Chain A
Amino acid sequence: MAEPFLELIGIGKSYPGVQALADVSLSIGSGEVVGLIGENGAGKSTLMKVLGGVVAPSMGVIRLDGHDHASLTVKGSMAAGIAFVHQELNLFENLDVAANVFIGREPRMGGPLKLIDRRKLRDAVRPLLERLGCDFKPETSVADLSIAQRQQLEIAKALSFGARVVIMDEPTSSLTISETNRLLEIIADLKTSGVAVIFISHRLNEVEQCVDRVVVLRDGRLVGKLDRSSIRHESMIRLMIGRDLKDLYTPPAGPPGDTVLDLQELRTPAYPERAVNLSVRRGEILGLAGLIGAGRTELARAVFGIDRPAGGGIALGGERIVISGPRDAIDRGIYLIPEDRKRSGLIVEDSLVDNVSLPDLHSYASLGLVNTGREKRNAETQVKSLRIKVREVEALVASLSGGNQQKVVLAKWLSMQPKVLIFDEPTRGVDVGAKTEIYELMRALADKGVAILMISSDLEEVIGVSDRMAVMHEGAIAGILERGEFSEENVMHLAVGQARN
């Protein structure tokens, strides 16, 4: 292993009432790929902010090339060759690739006019893109790039700063399988050219594939280090949550009942020429797997009435229904827990109680006036039964953690009578503990007779939780798997459009 150029020694950071980091030591040598894992709130982002110079640690030393620093500045961190590829990419969509790479340090010309020298700019960017094997040009507008391409652009930007260590925060969370593989190749290339990578991810498979060693954080402490040879799924999970992960699957209380929701030749605006036939039965959790862009969310949107279907029909309990808007779906007991809860699921700057009663406000009102007492009583019941951690129901939703926010979305719908619940990525951005709770809730609801359709890109989740699984490929159902046939291989074969053997 190369001599480490960057060392964190005994780093601690405390906020009022919270110890975000305690005695964390970590060293990075050139050409090393280090996996950093931990539950949400384990302190990963604080540690990275310390490296980025955004947060000053309250204890410990940062040793850079043999010099000790109590803290870094943003400039100092950049000058030392520490670069970030963020989860939410920080790019200017209205500019082209070259402009994004050199934003703020464009080559100038024209003397005092200080005009941007576009030719020089592009010439400087081209070799960077070639080095990463990017399939886009310096002139391409960022708005035309896919998420994977934008990420490569971010890496190119990092390299343009002469980065020695690139920190990637959840880089694969919105990539397809092939894009992920491409990224792993890039990481391997960076490694051979001597650039170190800190790879933060919840996807343990990818961590297993690409890192030299793994560092595990829990509650702000470093709880374990695993060498290449001892990196195993189970051992990582055990370290992350401090206990063994029990089997996700809880079998249903009884066999599934009649078909509740039946999609008949339903076609979505995204894939107007592909028809979907799918039925969800009473009391079952039907997983809907597939790659990003397979049309799963679009299907959910069409069923919930957000988008008008391009054709086909929907039957509920054997009766053909027309859904021309979310109100129609809601009135019939079809509810959607959307993918992006902050944008579509919740009004985060409103209180919990206001959010919970919003879809059913008329039933809390008499003569058009809202009875806030009735609203509050219902919200309190929901908080109790869903075990939402909140001081009072008037608290703003924005102040809750991801898992608790997701429970507020659920509380909205559980205040009414659900027949069909569609979960779109139910545990995205939710930590491991709350995940288990949400799975338990789904099972309990299914056992009460609700038909559940769960869209998930997380293979572990969709395999672990579903009773039956439909796999989508390019807008159509590629195949249905029964519980006995569940395996990552079977799902992937269907998801990429290969027929099952």
Chain B
Amino acid sequence: MLKKDLSLLILILVIGTVTAFLNPRFISPINLSNTANLIGLFGLYAIGAGFVIITGGIDLSVGSLFALLGVVFVDLLSRFEMNWGLAVALMVLAGMAIGGIHAFLIVKMRLQPFIVTLCGLLLYRGIARWYTDDGTAGFEFGQSFPTLEWLTTGRTYGVPHNFVVFILIAIVMGIVLHSSVFGRYLCAVGKNEEAARYSGIHTGWVIATAYIIASGLAGLSSVYFVMYTRSISPASHGNFYELYGIAAAVLGGCSLRGGEGSVFGIVLGAVLLQILQNLVNLLGIPSSLNFAVMGAVILLGVLADQQFVNYRLWLRDRRAKVAPALRDRSAPAGP
């Protein structure tokens, strides 16, 4: 575990303890279960956001993608009565295809990731709103998909299944990022793309794969969000959600300069964000302050982390300075 991850974990425990102390309902089983549910929802695509950030890029299109894929998914199930398994697979594939288009524009056409995915953000939401005539898409009355619902919104002993899926995917992605050849290539490309190319890495493919993974996970997430909300107003569904993903990744230690990050850190980042949301509700802070609290805590956390790093450097410096001085003092006594 990285030192960064450890300090984030400590921050989560401190905030959790204080909140629990102020309002014991925080650790009530039902509250923990609900929070875990939200962590699962918002954590899943944050892993993808992290992969993209590690390449030195960014993906701003995720929230709009939730709206677009969401309304299509509802339509496939309710109007076309498609098999839900097929529909879920289609959503993931559609996400991957969109990621592929982003990657093509970024790698081959050499456009900046910020611009490509910003245009995606505008495009997908616009299309989603046009597709539904700016109305709300929802399932037909009485429609139910027991297995799909069990997989997405079901809980076992209070543990939300989407949280379990999130943890499983996090473990797989953790192995991919930290132990696989691809993960090593991803970090190498993020740190120094040219040197990676000179070492025979197909840097374009590596970057493309990161965008495809990110949008593929977003495709899967869009299914989870649909099943969670049951109906979608494409004008507002998923607004700002890309920023939750980016915030979780950055809180979790992904450097926007690229090359750095850990999946465990992203998981912790997602956990912290949801705890903060929860804390606003439980401590009776006006919910309009929701974003402000989140912003303030992230800012303080990053600031404290930076100061802590500085302090460690200072300590090391001082130790390095003191050591030779001590040696000098003892030198005359020696032979």
Contacts and interface: CB of A to CB of B under 8 A. Distances in A.
Contacts of A329: 200
A361 B198 CA distance: 14
Contact of B180 (A306, A327, A369, A412): A369
A331 B202 CA distance: 13
Interface stretch (B127-135, B185-193, B212-220, B288-296): B185-193
B181 A306 contact: no
A358 interface: yes
A369 B179 contact: yes
Contact of B198 (A344, A354, A369): A344
Interface string B207-242: 000000000000000000000000000000000000
B280 interface: no
Most buried by B among A331, A338, A348, A370: A370
A377 B321 CA distance: 35
Contacts of B321: 16
Contacts of B198: 304, 306, 326, 336, 338, 344-345
Contacts of B320: 16-17
A327 B200 CA distance: 4
A368 B181 contact: yes
Given A16-B323, A325-B202, A370-B180, A361 B195 contact: no
B196 interface: yes
Interface string B315-335: 000001101100000000000
Contact of B259 (A325, A349, A358, A369): A349
Interface in B128-184: 175, 179-182, 184
B180 A347 contact: no
B315 to A, nearest CB: 14
Contacts of B194: 343-344
A330 interface: yes
Interface in A352-368: 354, 358-359, 361-362, 365, 368
A325 B175 CA distance: 29
A129 to B, nearest CB: 35
A359 B196 CA distance: 8
B197 A306 contact: yes
Contacts of B187: 350
Contacts of B179: 369-370
B201 interface: yes
Contacts of A362: 181
Most buried by A among B181, B192, B196, B200: B200
B199 interface: yes
A343 B179 CA distance: 25
Given A330-B200, A361-B181, A350 B175 contact: no
A350 B188 contact: yes
Contacts of B185: 361
Nearest to B192: A347
Interface in A304-347: 304, 306, 325-327, 329-331, 336, 338, 343-347
B195 A347 contact: yes
Interface in A280-314: 304, 306
A493 B256 CA distance: 51
Nearest to B197: A326
A17 B199 contact: no
Contacts of A370: 179-181, 184
A63 to B, nearest CB: 28
B200 A326 contact: yes
A16 B320 CA distance: 6
Interface string A256-269: 00000000000000
Contacts of A359: 199-200
A345 B195 CA distance: 5
A329 B198 CA distance: 10
B245 to A, nearest CB: 25
Nearest to B202: A327
Nearest to A17: B324
Given A16-B323, A370-B179, A358 B191 contact: no
Contacts of A306: 197-198
A346 B191 CA distance: 10
A336 B194 CA distance: 13
Most buried by A among B187, B192, B259: B192
Contacts of B192: 343, 346-349
A335 to B, nearest CB: 9
B195 A16 contact: no
Nearest to A371: B179
Given A347-B188, A370-B181, A358 B199 contact: yes
A101 to B, nearest CB: 33
Nearest to B182: A368
B324 A358 contact: no
Interface in A227-267: none
Contacts of A327: 200-202
Given A16-B324, A347-B188, A347-B192, A358 B182 contact: no
Interface string A189-223: 00000000000000000000000000000000000
Contacts of A344: 194-195, 197-198
Most buried by B among A343, A345, A361: A361
B199 A412 contact: yes
A367 to B, nearest CB: 9
Contacts of A412: 199
Nearest to B259: A349
A358 B193 CA distance: 13
A146 B180 CA distance: 45
B196 A347 contact: yes
A358 B196 contact: yes
B195 A346 contact: yes
Contacts of A343: 192, 194-195
A347 B189 CA distance: 9
Nearest to A349: B191
A359 B191 CA distance: 15
Interface string A145-166: 0000000000000000000000
- Can you list the 5 inter-chain pairs with the closest CB atoms, starting with the nearest? A330-B200, A359-B199, A327-B200, A358-B199, A347-B192
Given A336-B198, A361-B185, 20 more contacts: A16-B320, A16-B321, A17-B320, A306-B198, A325-B200, A326-B198, A326-B200, A327-B201, A327-B202, A329-B200, A344-B198, A345-B198, A347-B192, A347-B196, A348-B192, A354-B188, A361-B181, A368-B181, A370-B184, A412-B199
16 contacts: A16-B321, A306-B197, A306-B198, A338-B198, A343-B194, A345-B198, A348-B192, A349-B191, A354-B188, A361-B185, A368-B182, A369-B180, A370-B179, A370-B180, A370-B181, A370-B184
